[in-house]
Structure 1
Amino acid sequence: MVTTLDVRDETAFALGLEVFAKRNFEHALSAMLQRGNLDIVVNNAGFRKRMPLDEIVSVNMRSVFLRCQLFSAVTKAAGYGRIVIVTSLALHRGGTVASGSASLCLPKCSLCISILTLGLLLLCS
């Protein structure tokens, strides 16, 4: 069990990656598994600026779905693991946080339902 993080990244490490493509998550997962067990994954990607809806959905919803899809299979096979998903206040307060933009809130709300569904699927399997 990791009780502290060290500066040498021996017990835990952060991994930044471009979240638009599934293959990037596959490479990240491979890098993680080469270091040992996958105990916890923290999803923390998102945009708050205005941009085309497809790009917002790709980062704020699709990328989290892809991570959960890949990493949950590994944690399920291992019999243990945690997936932490960081969202935003837009999920709870709507457009007031996101400057009135429904396009920023839509992926977060969809993500909430997906998280609940994933949890139920993993719990019941």
Structure 2
Amino acid sequence: MTAQVAVVTGGARGLGQAIVRRLHADGYRVAVADLDGADALAEKLDGTGTTARGFTADVADRAAPAGLLHGVLDAFGAVHVLVNNAARTQATPVLEIAPDELDAVMDVNFGGTFRACQVFGAHLAEQGYGRIVNMASLAGQNGGTATGAHYAASKGAVLTTTKVFARDLAARGVTVNAVSPGPQDGDTVREVVGADGLERLRAGIPVGRLGDPGFVARMVALLASPEAISVTGACWDVNGGLYLR
């Protein structure tokens, strides 16, 4: 059987790159979509372009999802999995967030995810099979504002978006789920909290350590797999016990 095709937005760095590498290692043909760096990562994974291709995509652009879908179909001939990972963070205090900044963050994190779910969801529903995994965040569940109040609000919207599309697409062979990570051991957390804040952050996590992007990627891979037939509209938490529900 021909390997399935997975599209990962924001896939060139950080958690997105971990997801791309995991799916590729699991045998998927992977479309890496990002503002920059996508071609370089795809080249590292497969210089022939047979199992990995890079695509330049700005999810804030209203036309981006349709363009990305058509580009991936032209390159690989199919799409089976969408991982909405692209996101923007700005740690501006809530009372200082300007209207343009609010719009910019919401348009990437919420708008980009919603539009991609629409465009790719329609295609997956038409073919009668598909998996969509939306990357949410602990901030969208507990209102944490370390990465920006607008970021937290946008990720809360992603969780609701996941439920809406899961309900609508369930009867057509498409599952839609979310993964909600807490602080992960990576550059993004270090940039937000700084070296001094890193140890304080770790000490406040019940399991005593930051999250592992590789483990988050494995959870995404499970939800993306054909075996995940009875899980839809769910949010899988990876937060080390910071938020219990």
TM-score in same-fold range (> 0.5): yes
State the SS of the aligned residue for 2:55.
Answer: coil
* RMSD of aligned alpha carbons: 2.1
Tell me: higher relative CO, structure 1 or 2? Use CA pairs within 8 A at least 6 residues apart.
Answer: 1
C-alpha displacement at 1:102, in angstroms? 2.6
**2:69 is the alignment partner of 1:37:** no
Report what 1:123 is aligned to: 170
- The 2-side partners of 1:84 and 1:14 are apart by 19
Measured at CA, do residues 116 and 92 of structure 1 come closer, stay the same or move farther in structure 2, by a change above 3 Å? Answer: same
Report what 2:160 is aligned to: 113
Measured at CA, do residues 29 and 100 of structure 1 come closer, stay the same or move farther in structure 2, by a change above 3 Å? Answer: closer
- The 1-side partners of 2:140 and 2:65 are apart by 24
C-alpha displacement at 1:21, in angstroms? 1.6
Report what 2:57 is aligned to: 17
Q: TM-score, normalised by structure 2?
A: 0.46
C-alpha displacement at 1:18, in angstroms? 1.1
Larger fraction in helix: 1
C-alpha displacement at 1:100, in angstroms? 7.3
Structure 2 residues without counterparts, runs of 5 or longer: 5-26, 30-44, 173-245
Greater Cα radius of gyration, structure 1 or 2? 2
Report what 2:128 is aligned to: 79
Q: Deviations over 1:72-97 (max 9, x none)?
A: 000011111111211222123321xx
Measured at CA, do residues 25 and 16 of structure 1 come closer, stay the same or move farther in structure 2, by a change above 3 Å? Answer: same
Task: Give the share of equivalent positions with the same residue, in percent.
Answer: 27
**Paired residue type of 1:85:** N
**Paired residue type of 1:37:** A
**2:142 is the alignment partner of 1:102:** no
Q: How many residues align?
A: 123
Larger fraction in strand: 2
Structure 1 residues without counterparts, runs of 5 or longer: none
Q: TM-score, normalised by structure 1?
A: 0.85
Farther off after superposition, 57-66 or 8-17: 8-17
State the SS of the aligned residue for 1:15.
Answer: strand
C-alpha displacement at 1:14, in angstroms? 4.2
Farther off after superposition, 48-57 or 59-68: 48-57
State the SS of the aligned residue for 1:54.
Answer: helix
**Paired residue type of 2:112:** S
